[in-house]
Structure 1
């Protein structure tokens, strides 16, 4: 039997989990509930003998993060597809269906967000198997979660009946108020909408043709004109930008008459806010007083609180707190009432209005060759810690406004400065004059760590002229 092709949606940025989730490194790539990131756990859940290698829909900024995290998890990617711009889920799902249809129009496609928590992978696989037969018979299958509380943060699916097995969908229901959510919970015919879909490629393409035909030509053209870029499939930009920004629910699902719902009664969370992280932690490890505190946090006489610090150098201590969330990173701290979890996005908007870099950017900047973070920044100088992965290399580049001094503190660097190539080992340093054409490489088998001291009139990351780059980046990347 043909394997199901998983399609992981990994291009969004979750502002409601700020400050851990930010535009430059959103929640799906963070380890919020365990040792693996949400993306890695999602990819692992959709792997195995019944599944083909996953297709990942993402954007240019995250392409190397996706590839690295899949490699770390030991999961081979079928394709990593780069969307030229965010256009919501409708065009991305159509592109995935068209790709699968190229080799097997009847092939089944399972579309799932990459930032959900489903601890019981076996139960979820059973639910997928339950829906697969309906999908092979021409149904579009959506998965509904059995609700355990009157949740106002989710959309709902209303079932046409209450029988066992896959059921026809009566209608989609928007996020309700608290009173209506309570009524739907009591009715027993409503499920949370998980945003997970299973269908054959042919059926989904036909659904677009019937309900959203304007997507077919530009998405098809973007796929036809796509280019391979270092193993990534980069969709053509011009036709993609003409596509309407819309979700699959609005574009197709709410108009289709061949929808089937599979009920999933296991644990599930979209981690749509810090209250969901708190609840998921308590489900995994119950606490008498509802306290969730990580290794860097201490709770004293607290009740129903979340205390979290992602920095070993920043300890969080709560005394006498009730119904609060305190989340700290090395450069920002969130303190909020637990009942206001959905309003955390307002903090991002407020910081953006103040032009605070913490709104969207992390102190640690991930690059395809490794990462760097700023240790000190002042007028005319900046100090960074830079970590370069084994075998990786920065681009051959120069700067117009700054010079650099590099001190290797671990490993060995091969440094090019104009016509000179030098091996710089631990406790050695080298100077890169302003305007010099230079490159840094790690020829070793362990990560190389160095301290960089920049001096000059302008220290922005856009002061880079690239001459060669093994990652095919422009100066703006």
Structure 2
């Protein structure tokens, strides 16, 4: 059995509160905000010390599997397992599955630390000390959660009231409090002894499984059957769908933590945010002398206390205060900072309209196991894309029923198969793929391959593809 902590990272969430950057098919944990690492990668980096942690177990879903694998590869992080949930069943089922997988990989007495993939946390001595306290409490038989010292009467978080201190340094949980109204939040901060519920946990696997058996037996039964019936697919562990579907749709808080007599909380003041709204991104960011947080590709003039970010055009903001201005490749959001919690309402309105619903679902840039593409322009019966292929990767051998394609290499070297012909193309060279012809694109080089693809035809949807051979096991 391992003596190290086994990290369990929950990476299946589909939140869109940080629209237009975060969308259903590429939510906030996989998006680069201010710097060049995503929140998921920053979470992986926090558990990268091999003296403390085993390689992480990731719990995600089918749609995000290649994002997880590629972003871990970019960071150079080994993973113990990528577990694919076939349907969404909240956190209790996913954590139960992860505990069973951890027991198989690292022994029945393993200690797991459950982390959200989309939180921003500052790793300092306070954070490391809290983790050691939590581990001691978990080894002593407690189910441990982390409580964050509140810095304001926030209404977007649940709270935990702490009780007596244990020998481990953790405290008993007196009660959990749902997300409060502002007046109640002010009263709790005035009274003291209340902490934000971070959604982070530390469990000894046998203690967790025993409490699941007693308090949530249907969750544990479904998890056991889902893991025992799982199949290995490349780097992924696919849970048995029929078994997993039978699990109750319930959070670990409701299923276990609010019922167990073994709950403990480690209060701590390390910097933490769930980045659930644009104002929280602003608060967590590095502010300049005018209290602005801005990304590259922006210019601010006579602007204060604002968040300005662009993943697309150059943004110029002049003469404004307390605003949020966010640009993706195909949409721009502008709102008052105090209205950041209302972005969800905006997304629902966009979802309801056929002309804008796609803006909430997918990005112009989509990632695939071989690289990805950006849709640059869509016209009547034609589309222009930027295709990028990682070194050594290849697309499937496939054909299309409704479109032909023109490829022009702009960077790197391409090996192109069209029918029976295989040729090497270099920068400024091009190829034509007739409608219905089998073809494949490979990057045989050492640098990223980029090309411009012009599609022409009667239908340009991504589902017009017939795969003949695919090294990633896709149909």
| TM-score, scaled to structure 2 | 0.96
1:340 maps onto 2:342 in alignment: no
1:223 maps onto 2:227 in alignment: yes
Equivalent residues, number:
469
Contact 1:364 1:374 (8 Å CA) reproduced = yes
Once the two structures are superposed, residues 398-435 of structure 1 have per-residue CA deviations (whole angstroms, 9 ceiling, x without a partner) of: 11111111111222211111211121222211111111
1:239 maps onto 2:237 in alignment: no
Secondary structure of 1:431 counterpart: strand
Query: Which of 89, 114, 130 is residue 117 of structure 2 equivalent to?
Result: 114
- CA pair 216-176 structure 1, distance change in 2 beyond 3 A: same
The equivalent of 1:201 in structure 2 is 205
Superposition deviation, residue 245 in structure 1: 1.6
Contact 1:162 1:189 (8 Å CA) reproduced = no
1:69 maps onto 2:71 in alignment: yes
1:64-463 matched pairs, under 5 angstroms: 64-102=66-104, 103-161=106-164, 165-281=169-285, 284-285=286-287, 287-311=288-312, 314-355=313-354, 356=356, 357-463=358-464
* Superposed CA RMSD: 1.5
Contact 2:4 2:53 (8 Å CA) reproduced = yes
Structure-1 separation of matches of 2:319 and 2:420: 63
Secondary structure of 2:460 counterpart: coil
| TM-score, scaled to structure 1 | 0.95
Contact 1:106 1:136 (8 Å CA) reproduced = no
Contact 2:165 2:172 (8 Å CA) reproduced = no
Secondary structure of 1:414 counterpart: strand
Superposition deviation, residue 216 in structure 1: 1.9
Structure-2 separation of matches of 1:93 and 1:358: 32
Superposition deviation, residue 293 in structure 1: 2.3
Superposition deviation, residue 246 in structure 1: 1.4
The equivalent of 1:51 in structure 2 is 53
Once the two structures are superposed, residues 32-62 of structure 1 have per-residue CA deviations (whole angstroms, 9 ceiling, x without a partner) of: 2433211111111122111111101111121
Secondary structure of 2:281 counterpart: helix
Structure-2 separation of matches of 1:91 and 1:465: 35
Superposition deviation, residue 291 in structure 1: 2.0
Once the two structures are superposed, residues 198-226 of structure 1 have per-residue CA deviations (whole angstroms, 9 ceiling, x without a partner) of: 01111111111111111122211110111
Structure-1 separation of matches of 2:166 and 2:196: 17
